[in-house]
Amino acid sequence: MKKPILDEPIFIIHGEKFDKKFSRNDFDDSQIHLICITSPEELSNYPSCLFIFDAQLLETASWKDWNKYLWNSVTISEEHLEINTDLLLPTGFPKHETIKLLGFAYQQLHLKQQYSVTNNLLSFEHKRITQLNEIGIALSKEKNLGVLLKKILHESQNLSDCDAVSLYLVDKQDEEQPKLIFKLSFNDTLSFKMDEFQIPLDNNSIAGYAALNNQEVIIDDAYHILASKPFQFDSSLDIELNYRTISILAVPITNHENQVIGVLQFINRKNQRDIKLTTPEITVKHVIPFDSGICHLLCALASQAAISIENAILLENINNLFEGFVKASVTAIEQRDPTTSGHSFRVADLTTTLAVRMNASEHHEYRQISYSGAELREIRYASLLHDFGKVGVRENVLVKEKKLPENRLELLQYRFELEKERLKRKALEEELHLHHSHSPIEQIQSVHKQLKQQIDELDQHFQAILEANEPTILPDGNFNHLMTLKEFPYRELGGESGYIISESDFLALSVKKGTLTDVEREEIQSHVLHTLKFLRQIPWTADLSNIPGIASAHHEKLNGKGYPYGLTAEDISMPSRMMAICDIFDALVATDRPYKRALNIEKALDIIQTETTHGLLDSELVKVFIDEKVYTTTTHKDYKPSMNISEPLKKNHICNVDLHK
């Protein structure tokens, strides 16, 4: 028989019939062992062997029983037995044929073992590759950077069977002094929290060397690093935590441009994943070095992590950019009316809080509604941008402090002063005439008296205009005075005849509540249409696509009496219903309306509850708003305007015209 290929013992298992024909001397190889057995159970001691099966063995047990123990063996039997074996011998077992066949059998056993080893390796590699692919898919789906970094560490630890793993990110904002930022670490044995910290990006640390040189660093024993290396292991943490670091692997995380963006550092690879390295003895027994196979696998994982990290950072930067753009836009829009600065931010905070508290409340019918993080983000942006359409409202309407435009009141004042001068001139001419005609002094005094009465009357008329111009609730009696003024004749300098106040002046001064005429009120209300129009121009992502509709419906009422479309309850989305409550509440408590000062919280809540009785607001949501104290969300937050306002002005915030009278 030929010398075996592998340096392994060869067990030739046989029955008594074979034992009588052959001996150890028939083989010139010391690795061959002849074992004679009489029962199938004895095969359990030799899972890998050459098994010669004869009729005598078949009498002791069935072939099915024997075959249970031959899963990794090569079997030989005589032809006449007609059983399913690997090789057949002529009947009678001729010695030279048997020895020759045993040589073939051994070659087949060797190939079978090689196949088994190779298959196991392939299965192991397939499992690893499958695991790596699953990790890649899982990482690619995660958009939150903080969650992603934890997932990377968790999967890295499972893949490498390491006791601990840490992650560093490269920070090159300061090009002259780049840094490595320690983000987080997982450890099976130790339970402790390490805060984020920075180290210089240089060769003095293991992670720094890996990042700076873009190469893996493999250390079999952290306490025996060659002195020639630029880095050494810092054992201070080991001493502090009573831990023993042995094997270390630092893998750079590189992006598609081969730029290092971080480092994964693995510590103490274990031969059993669930072992905790609680003592130095256990550590030495179970910690193994990082071989080339696991290094290659972890480098592949690092590449996948790089793509996911860059995508997450890019997405985070985009979100931050968009967040900044939204805030800047809202701030810029609110500068058109600085007294309302902060309103949109407060409404956003109130509305998102109400959306969260809905699910916490125990008594309202919407308790089953729960908003995801993406949905809350959509609600928040819609709330921030709900008054975006204010840019489409004319400045003189938006900040109209009095019923008459400021320049119009000045013109009326000029008319009254001009009319006084005309009366004075007329009286002076009449007085001169009386002097020349030597009229009695009583007539001259009568002219003076009449002039005074006429000037007093003009002053009274102008004072009535000033009073009517104030944004207060106008008594019905003032309309008679305005009607008189409407018929008061006046001649322009050019000679045209008319009245001292125009029809538009009369309509403006006749406004009973606030400062806006019906036309101006409609213009104010048009801001929601402008909001819808402008927000539709933005190419929103799918998770933010409802923002235009939510933002533009915050003045709709459940009874259909809102604007701009007069939607009824079933057509108004839940976020818009919530925003309507928060919008009105903030308008009541945080802004001086033209005809009324800001209210205290108790009075504002009473008004909101009253609004529900008129079918304007959602009563269940108002209950949650009050019972869950959502209104306190903005109490201790700073919403200072971005510009200084020395004197608060009474202006027309677009939400102030929306309240039920």
First to last CA, the chain: 111
pLDDT at position 525 is: 81
Residue 500: per-residue pLDDT? 86
Per-residue model confidence (pLDDT) at position 286: 94
* pLDDT at residue 7, as a whole number: 47
Gyration radius from the chain CA atoms: 46
Q: pLDDT band for position 93 (50/70/90)?
A: low
CB 155 within 8 A of CB 138: yes
Tokens of 313: 């950072």
Would you state the pLDDT for residue 618? 92
Average pLDDT over residues 614-636: 91
653's tokens: 């915030």
Write down the residue that tokens 């009695």 correspond to: 440
Q: Average pLDDT of 138-158?
A: 79
Q: Which of 137-151, 243-257, 594-608 has the highest mean pLDDT?
A: 243-257
Determine the Cα–Cα distance for residues 556 and 577; give it in Å rounded to an integer. Answer: 8
Q: Is the separation of the CB atoms in 656 and 396 below 8 Å?
A: no
Q: Which residue has the tokens 């390491």?
A: 162
> b or e along 637-651 (b: 16 or more beta carbons within 10 Å of the residue's beta carbon)?
eeeeeeeeeeeeebb
At residue 88, φ and ψ (nearest 5 deg) are -120, 140
Looking at per-residue pLDDT, the higher value among 512 and 379 belongs to 379
Most confident region among 40-54, 216-230, 507-521 by mean pLDDT: 216-230
What residues have CB less than 8 Å from 352, skipping those under 6 apart?
376, 379, 380, 383
For residues 142-159, average pLDDT: 81
The number of C-alpha atoms within 13 Å of 532 and in the hemisphere containing its C-beta is 13
User: What mean pLDDT do residues 258-281 have?
Assistant: 91
State how far the Cα of 440 lies from the Cα of 218, in Å rounded to an integer.
125
Peptide bond into 338 cis (omega under 30): no
Q: What is the pLDDT of residues 560-611, one digit of tens each?
A: 999 899 999 999 999 999 999 999 999 898 765 554 577 889 999 999 999 9
Minimum mean pLDDT range among 234-248, 475-489, 640-654: 640-654
Q: Rounded to whole angstroms, what are the CA distances from 378 to 264, 293, 375, 385, 584?
A: 35, 46, 5, 11, 20
Half-sphere exposure at residue 565, Cβ-oriented, CA atoms within 13 angstroms:
11
The residue with greater pLDDT, 115 or 271, is 271
What architecture is domain 337-390+522-658?
Orthogonal Bundle (1.10)
Helix (H, G, I), strand (E, B) or coil at 660: coil
Is the predicted pLDDT of residue 657 greater than 70, yes or no? Answer: no
Give the pLDDT band of residue 203 (cuts 50, 70, 90): very high
Return the percentage of the chain with pLDDT > 90, whole number: 30
pLDDT digits (tens, 9 = 90+) for 394-448: 777 777 778 888 788 888 889 899 989 999 999 999 889 888 888 888 888 898 8
Cα separation of 243 and 267, whole Å? 11
Element containing residue 491 per DSSP (H, E): strand 489-491
d(CA 403, CA 398): 12
523 backbone dihedrals φ, ψ, rounded to 5°: -65, -40
C-alpha 568/C-alpha 286 separation (Å) is 70
Phi, psi of 104 (to 5 degrees): -60, -40
For residues 611 and 43, give the distance between their C-alpha atoms in angstroms, rounded to a whole number.
Answer: 89
Average pLDDT over residues 112-120: 75
> What would the pLDDT profile of 475-522 be if each residue is shown by its tens digit?
554 567 778 888 888 888 877 888 888 888 888 888 887 778 788 888
Can you tell me the distance from the alpha carbon of 184 to that of 168, in angstroms, rounded to the nearest whole number?
A: 8
Q: Residue 381 corresponds to which tokens in the numbers above?
A: 């942006």
Whether 456 has a pLDDT exceeding 70, the answer reads: yes
List beta partners, residue 499: 489
Q: What are phi and psi of 604, to 5 degrees?
A: -65, -40
- The answer to whether 155 and 178 are in contact (CB under 8 A) is no
Three-state DSSP state, 222: coil
DSSP 389: G
The reported pLDDT for the residue numbered 651 is 46
Place of tokens 């806006």: 516
Give the global pTM.
0.62
Average pLDDT, the chain: 83
Q: What is the 3-state secondary structure (H, E, C) of 242-269?
A: CCCCCCEEEEEEECCCCCEEEEEEEEEE
The token duo for 356 is 């969260």
CATH, range 10-117: 3.40.50.2300
- Report d(CA 413, CA 14) in Å as an integer: 129
**What is the per-residue burial (b if ≥16 Cβ within 10 Å, else e) of 152-186?**
bbebbbebbbbbbbbbbbbeeeeeeebbbebbbbb
Confidence of residue 646 (pLDDT cuts 50, 70, 90): very low
pLDDT at residue 478 in the model: 57
DSSP characters for 506-522? HHHHT-SSSS--HHHHH
Q: At what angle do helices 601-613 and 574-590 cross, to 10 degrees?
A: 140
Distances (CA, A) of 377 to 70, 346, 353, 356, 544: 64, 15, 12, 12, 8
CATH number of 142-315: 3.30.450.40
What's residue 477's pLDDT? 46
Percent of the chain with pLDDT over 70: 89
Q: Phi, psi at residue 287, to the nearest 5°?
A: -85, 135
* pLDDT attached to residue 1: 42
What average pLDDT does this structure show over 85-92? 79
Structural tokens at position 331: 């701030």
CB neighbour burial string for 276-293, b if at least 16 within 10 angstroms, e if fewer:
ebeeeeebeebbeebeee
Strand extents, DSSP E, 101-229 = 162-171, 179-187, 197-200, 217-219
With residue 346 as reference, give the H or E element that holds it. Answer: helix 343-358
Helix axes 441-469, 406-436, angle to 10 degrees: 180
Tell me the sheet residues that pair with 32.
Answer: 10
Where do the domains of the chain lie? 10-117, 142-315, 337-390+522-658, 406-514
Give the length of the chain.
661
User: What pLDDT does residue 270 have?
Assistant: 94
Q: Which residues of 208-226 are buried (b: 16+ CB within 10 A; e: fewer)?
A: bbbbbeeebbbbeebeebe
* pLDDT above 60 for 645: no
What does the pLDDT average to over 197-226? 93
pLDDT confidence tier of residue 363, bands split at 50, 70 and 90: low
Q: Which residues contact 623 (CB under 8 A, 6 or more apart)?
A: 361, 363, 364
Run of H or E including 500: none
For strand 489-491 and strand 287-288, is the pairing parallel, antiparallel, or unpaired? unpaired
pLDDT greater at residue 631 or residue 590: 631
Tens of pLDDT, residues 7-43: 466 777 777 777 677 776 777 666 778 888 888 988 8
